[in-house]
Structure 1
Amino acid sequence: MMYGLLYRIIFGSKWLNQAGGVLLLAFLVVVPIGLGALTALLTPREAGKAQCIWVLPWTTVGIFLVTAAILGFEGAICLLIIFPLFLGLANLGAWIYTLGESKEKPPRNAAVVAALGVLPLLVVPIESRFVMPTSLRRVENTVDVAATPDVVWQHIIRVPPIEAADLGPSLVDDIGFPRPVEATLSHEGVGGVRHATFERGVEFIETVDVWKPRRKLSFRITPNTATIPPTTFDEHVTVGGRFFDVLRGTYELRPLPGGRTRLVLYSEQRLSTNLNPYAGLWTDYVMSEIQRRILQVVKRRCEVQAVVQQ
């Protein structure tokens, strides 16, 4: 555990922050491998391979992450993201250790762990020479609404205040992501500005650049960093930061038989890390959950209005 905490401090320092800090592969990949190998070294041989490769590395990772959370090194969102990654790589590190294990020459075991122990610092200069790749991602959600496009359109250009009970429970709430509150609109048409607000002072400024009544609404998104407290997001998942940003949002309305409407909401995000395929699984999930819940609120409101108008 101390091995992991030491490297968390090192990679969280100003010295390495410019290069990417704890989002470097040297930390996200090499450190948990070393953590697993060190755990295997300290595991008594009589414990058996299952304990050595699986159980005890998972225990070590769990203790390390809980301690990191208690010390304030990581927020709930980051902990959830790195937890399965660290578990798998710690197992790999323990397995690598067992490959080099020798009953006749115990020092060889220590040499394997020592090599993995300093490897993160050796990888940093190499990794920092490369610019983190950028991935543009799109997340789409769809819902069928028992209301006409006319009704649905009025409920998406502006979204009146949303109560927590309207949204229902979700994992994104449990890990600390703010709930959506409302969306206002300065004026209708291209150039109109929506202010999409979330809990805890989070606000996004959405400038409309596609306005096709009852068919399509699309807008550029800019986080209002002046209103977002620094404690709202972990620095590594801050929207509009160096690693992640939400660029656009789009609603499309597609008429269906029987006076119904298929409402599609999709967003485009920028992800800039050295582990984009893995990180993208999590950002896609969070964005999909936010969009799904907003669509459900719109669906219920539209259908209530449609019934009243009948």
Structure 2
Amino acid sequence: MPTANRHIVKTIAASIEINGKPEVIWQNITEVKIEQFSDPLLFRLLDVPKPLSAEIIAEGAGGQRIAYFSTGKKFIQEIIIWKPLEEYSFSFNPEEGFRVGYFFELKTGIFRMLKGAYFLKNQEQSTTLKLTTEYSIDKRYSFLLQAPIKIILKAFQRYLLHSIKKNAES
């Protein structure tokens, strides 16, 4: 049985209101710098690598962004959609051996990060920033892992969004 057929694909989303212009927020989602923020204790206990920064190597659809983590591992992200000030989506493409939670290998394991996307919606006084994350879980372990993975991913999304908000509003 092909591995891809054994995985259930799920998507979760979170959003936040930011008192900032889309131009500033766009800069903070494409060129991320959050190493100055402490990661939540839960992430340290569960061995979730701390994101440090990300940089665009080539803009536009088909371009590339590299996300750096405290473990020395990277996501080599391929840009899927690039609509400045509106939408930015990418595939995660974790390096071989990128582990989360001590034993979840993100590239080929039972839990995989597939795609992420940011959506900006400009309001009169603020901007709504929405983050979606597409992931997959091996069907054989879905019953056991679906709820904890969803809880941890939601917490991670909130951490990223609050870090972006702090940067954009400072």
Using structure 2 for the length normalisation, give the TM-score.
Answer: 0.89
Q: Equivalences for 1:283-298 in 2 at 5 Å?
A: 283-298=149-164
Match of 1:249 in 2: 116
CA distance in structure 2 between the aligned counterparts of 1:224 and 1:148, rounded to whole angstroms: 33
2:74 to 203, 209, 217: 203
List alignment gaps of at least 5 residues for structure 2: none
Match of 1:100 in 2: none
Match of 2:60 in 1: 189
CA distance in structure 1 between the aligned counterparts of 2:122 and 2:38, rounded to whole angstroms: 25
Q: CA RMSD in A?
A: 2.1
Q: 1:175 to 1:148 in 2, by over 3 A?
A: same
List alignment gaps of at least 5 residues for structure 1: 1-130, 305-310
Once the two structures are aligned, what percentage of the paired residues are identical? 25
Which digits, 9 at most, give the CA deviation of each residue in 1:150-186, with x for residues without a partner?
Answer: 11111111102522xx145331222221111111110
CA distance in structure 1 between the aligned counterparts of 2:86 and 2:162, rounded to whole angstroms: 19
Using structure 1 for the length normalisation, give the TM-score.
Answer: 0.50
Match of 2:102 in 1: 234
Q: Equivalences for 1:138-287 in 2 at 5 Å?
A: 138-163=11-36, 166-225=37-96, 228=98, 234-235=102-103, 237-258=104-125, 260-287=126-153
Letter in 2 for 1:156: I
Between structures 1 and 2, the one with greater helix share: 1
CA distance in structure 2 between the aligned counterparts of 1:156 and 1:183, rounded to whole angstroms: 9
TM superposition outliers: structure 1 runs of 4+ over 3 Å:
232-235
Provide the secondary structure at the position in 2 that maps to 1:172.
helix
Larger Rg: 1
Deviation at 1:187, TM superposition (A): 2.3
Q: Is the 8 A contact 1:141 1:291 kept in 2?
A: yes
Deviation at 1:140, TM superposition (A): 1.1
Provide the secondary structure at the position in 2 that maps to 1:263.
strand
Between structures 1 and 2, the one with greater strand share: 2
Q: Equivalences for 1:129-144 in 2 at 5 Å?
A: 133-144=6-17
